[in-house]
Structure 1
Amino acid sequence: MYVNPLIDVAVRSLCVYLFMVIAIRLFGKNQLSQLNAGDVVLLLLISNAVQNAMVGQDTSLEGGIIAALVLFIANLILKRLIFSSRSFGSLVESDPVILVKDGVVDHQALNKEKITEEELEEAIREHGIADMKNVRLSILEVDGNISVVSEDEKSKQTHYARIKRKIKRKYH
């Protein structure tokens, strides 16, 4: 059976996209925000490995454009589904997780999310907070970043900070 090569590229690209969304969901959101050298190498190797799975033997300009177009459309559809259905959104992107509340670390949440206490302390320090007792709330967000709400001991004023450790995600 003959299949148009560009349709073949489109179907392959869609399959790879869905696989990558599922893989990222299974391997955890904290993997997205705190990339080390090994993670960067892994991302580069994955992109190289899935390139051939998407375009097959088609190395034409049209094949590359079709693959990219399918990825953009699939991402747009996925974002719209996440936005329109809370249950689907929770399936694809896990819910935010409270890591610290009123200076008390939730060790069970840290274990579940595979975050070490040292990584949490580092994130807290990156927000300019020296002591965990000054953290009113620390949340692992759905995009893998850690947000922190703190209280200044001198002025009793609440401060919110969020450190972005990766390229911002666009929701259209």
Structure 2
Amino acid sequence: MWFDSWSDLVPVILVGASAYVLLVAVVRLAGKRSLSQLNAFDFVVTVALGSILASTLLNADIALAEGVTALALLLGLQYVLTTVSVRWPRVRDAITASPALLLADGEIQYETLRRQRLTESELRQAVRASGSGDLTQIKAVVLESDGTFSVITKSQYGDGSAMQDVPDAQHVR
């Protein structure tokens, strides 16, 4: 069925507009982290926010106040968990993936590729996307906790201090 009546659309429009404004306000209050590149934990929260918003918009049995409470609760829990994870590394390690060294001194780390379920082709694509065409000129490629690749050339490596939180970084000479 395409259309029942205008009276069915009015609550969706009113609740939708209200929920949208309140979602923007709650996300703004939650801070920049809720809008940053997503790690697995942030991705789950984002999907859940979308689900709550959709349910609030389309399910007449869910009041706007209930939907906003659910949104605020989820963002509040994310705020608390991220605040705790900043203070306690064990919590951070439990909710976020650590970076992974995929290439060290031009040599592909095949075991790490396998553990991360990546192919050589994907690694080479990341190197090409960085503007490099020669793996031997790459000092390191790191799969970051948000799923992005960091490609560091030999000329950019410097003292390597940015690599200290990357497991197996000792393989980079």
TM range (shorter): 0.5 to 0.7
Query: 2:74 matched to which residue of 1?
Result: 71
Q: Normalising by the residue count of structure 1, what TM-score does the alignment of the two structures yield?
A: 0.57
**Structure 2 SS opposite 1:73:** helix
Question: How many residues in Structure 1 have an aligned counterpart in Structure 2?
Answer: 116
Computing the radius of gyration over CA atoms, which structure comes out larger, 1 or 2? 2
Counting only pairs closer than 5 Å after superposition, residues 69-108 of structure 1 correspond to structure 2 as 69-108=72-111
Q: Which moved more, 1:102-111 or 1:116-125?
A: 116-125
Question: Are the equivalent residues in 1 in contact too, given 2:100–2:143 (CA < 8 A)?
Answer: yes
Shift of 1:47: 4.8
Where structure 1 has 5 or more consecutive residues not aligned to the other structure, the ranges are: 1-23, 33-42, 152-156, 161-172
Q: Normalising by the residue count of structure 2, what TM-score does the alignment of the two structures yield?
A: 0.57
Higher helix share: 2
Where structure 2 has 5 or more consecutive residues not aligned to the other structure, the ranges are: 1-39, 159-173
Taking only aligned residues, the RMSD between alpha carbons, in angstroms, comes to 3.3
In structure 2, give the amino acid aligned to 1:59: I
Question: Are the equivalent residues in 1 in contact too, given 2:52–2:70 (CA < 8 A)?
Answer: no
Which 4+ residue blocks in structure 1 deviate beyond 3 angstroms?
46-52
Could you list the per-position Cα deviations for residues 74-122 of structure 1 after superposition, in whole angstroms to 9, with x for gaps in the alignment?
1101111211111111111121111111000100000000111111111
Identical positions, percent: 22
In structure 2, give the amino acid aligned to 1:94: A
Q: State the distance in 2 between where 1:125 and 1:88 align.
A: 35
**Structure 1 SS opposite 2:142:** strand
Q: State the distance in 2 between where 1:94 and 1:158 align.
A: 25
Q: State the distance in 1 between where 2:95 and 2:88 align.
A: 11
**Higher relative contact order at CA 8 Å, sep ≥6: structure 1 or structure 2?**
1
Query: 1:14 matched to which residue of 2?
Result: none
